[in-house]
């Protein structure tokens, strides 16, 4: 049976102090059942604190995911940058395994320094295979690498590239960021239900059932300019796309389970709005 889970990218918007254990209690009371742990500025958590998150998430039936540091570039022509990226992602994988985060989300890198996109993608895949080997050698189970569809045309991370990475690197499930797909296309993609269904069917057809069980996704409204992403916006800001109801209807039509992380500036508050729209109007 299809299950759609909702939650914030990080601690609740109104939470002024406290850790992720408290954050899980709060979102659970709100009726949310997913949270993305943000390690975007680096992985600093101690094992015992990560294990406390695991326990609380289990108690409250909240699914946890993790966002790895922003400072990663697996496509970099500089070997030192790639080496540091590998080390940082490995640290994120370790922390994810302690807290039972099922995916480690990351932005794969940049095309800069390559004469064509294929070379950048090839290098990304080669660099990531080191992280995949680490996972295998250390028998880490239940943590998937999760390249995200990125919002800028300068970044590796089109839908095709994310699928290509997951075909060659294992374990891997993509993170589908609907706002990024929209911004990257400068508002021409994710404009109707058929396009949402097309994305979902393509991911499942090319990567198998496991990639969408449950699918990891991000949503918010987004502002774009030439080259893509500018800024994330709230669902109430009607001048921006994409439309959440389109994405929700597409998910329901295909019937896949999904973890929907709100990247709106008001995080959990918009996760609640998304959940309501999905339950009542789609």
Residues that bind Zn ion (CB under 5 A): 148
Q: Are 53 and 99 in contact (CB under 8 A)?
A: yes
Give the nearer residue to Zn ion in terms of CB position, either 174 or 214: 174
Q: How far is CA 250 from CA 109, 192, 208, 243, in A?
A: 29, 9, 18, 11
> In whole angstroms, how close is the CB of 265 to Zn ion at the nearest point?
15
Give the nearer residue to Zn ion in terms of CB position, either 148 or 270: 148
> In whole angstroms, how close is the CB of 48 to Zn ion at the nearest point?
27
* Contacts for 142 with CB less than 8 Å, ≥ 6 apart: 97, 100, 102
Q: Are 196 and 149 in contact (CB under 8 A)?
A: no
Q: Are 165 and 124 in contact (CB under 8 A)?
A: yes
Give the nearer residue to Zn ion in terms of CB position, either 148 or 243: 148
Give the nearer residue to Zn ion in terms of CB position, either 69 or 241: 69
> In whole angstroms, how close is the CB of 40 to Zn ion at the nearest point?
8
> How, if at all, do strands 258-262 and 228-233 pair?
unpaired
Give the nearer residue to Zn ion in terms of CB position, either 28 or 155: 155
> In whole angstroms, how close is the CB of 70 to Zn ion at the nearest point?
8
> In whole angstroms, how close is the CB of 159 to Zn ion at the nearest point?
15
Q: List the structure tokens of 225.
A: 């300019």
Q: List the structure tokens of 103.
A: 């995916």
> In whole angstroms, how close is the CB of 177 to Zn ion at the nearest point?
6
Q: Are 61 and 31 in contact (CB under 8 A)?
A: no
Give the nearer residue to Zn ion in terms of CB position, either 193 or 263: 263
Give the nearer residue to Zn ion in terms of CB position, either 94 or 148: 148
DSSP assigned state of 77: S
The phi-psi region of residue 42 (left if phi > 0; otherwise alpha if psi is between -120 and 50; otherwise beta) is left
Q: List the structure tokens of 132.
A: 């995949």
How far apart are alpha carbons 73 and 86 in whole angstroms?
Answer: 9
CB atoms within 10 A of CB 145: 26
> In whole angstroms, how close is the CB of 281 to Zn ion at the nearest point?
27
> Using CB atoms, what's the residue nearest to Zn ion?
148
């Amino acid at each position: 049976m299809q299950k759609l889970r909702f939650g914030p990218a990080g601690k609740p918007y109104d939470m002024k102090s406290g850790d992720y254990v408290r954050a899980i209690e709060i979102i659970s009371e709100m009726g949310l059942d997913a949270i993305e742990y943000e390690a975007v500025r680096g992985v600093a958590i101690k094992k015992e604190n990560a294990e406390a998150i695991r326990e609380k998430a289990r108690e409250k039936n909240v699914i946890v995911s993790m966002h790895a540091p922003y400072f990663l570039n697996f496509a970099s022509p500089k070997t030192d940058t790639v080496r540091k990226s590998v080390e940082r992602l490995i640290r994120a994988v370790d922390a994810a395994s302690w807290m039972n985060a099922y995916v480690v989300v990351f932005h794969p890198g940049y095309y800069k320094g390559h004469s064509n996109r294929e070379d950048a993608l090839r290098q990304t895949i080669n660099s990531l295979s080191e992280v995949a080997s680490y996972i295998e050698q250390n028998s880490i189970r239940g943590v998937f690498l999760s390249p995200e569809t990125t919002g800028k045309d300068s970044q590796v991370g089109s839908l095709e590239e994310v699928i290509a990475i997951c075909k060659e690197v294992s374990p891997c499930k993509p993170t589908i960021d609907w706002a990024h797909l929209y911004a990257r296309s400068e508002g021409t993609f994710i404009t109707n239900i058929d396009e949402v269904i097309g994305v979902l069917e393509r991911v499942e057809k090319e990567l198998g059932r496991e990639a969408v069980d449950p699918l990891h996704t991000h949503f918010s409204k987004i502002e774009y300019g030439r080259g893509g992403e500018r800024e994330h916006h709230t669902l109430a800001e009607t001048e921006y796309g994409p439309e959440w109801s389109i994405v929700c209807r597409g998910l329901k039509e295909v019937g896949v389970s999904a973890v929907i992380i709100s990247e709106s500036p008001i995080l959990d508050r918009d996760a609640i709005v998304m959940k309501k729209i999905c339950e009542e109007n789609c």
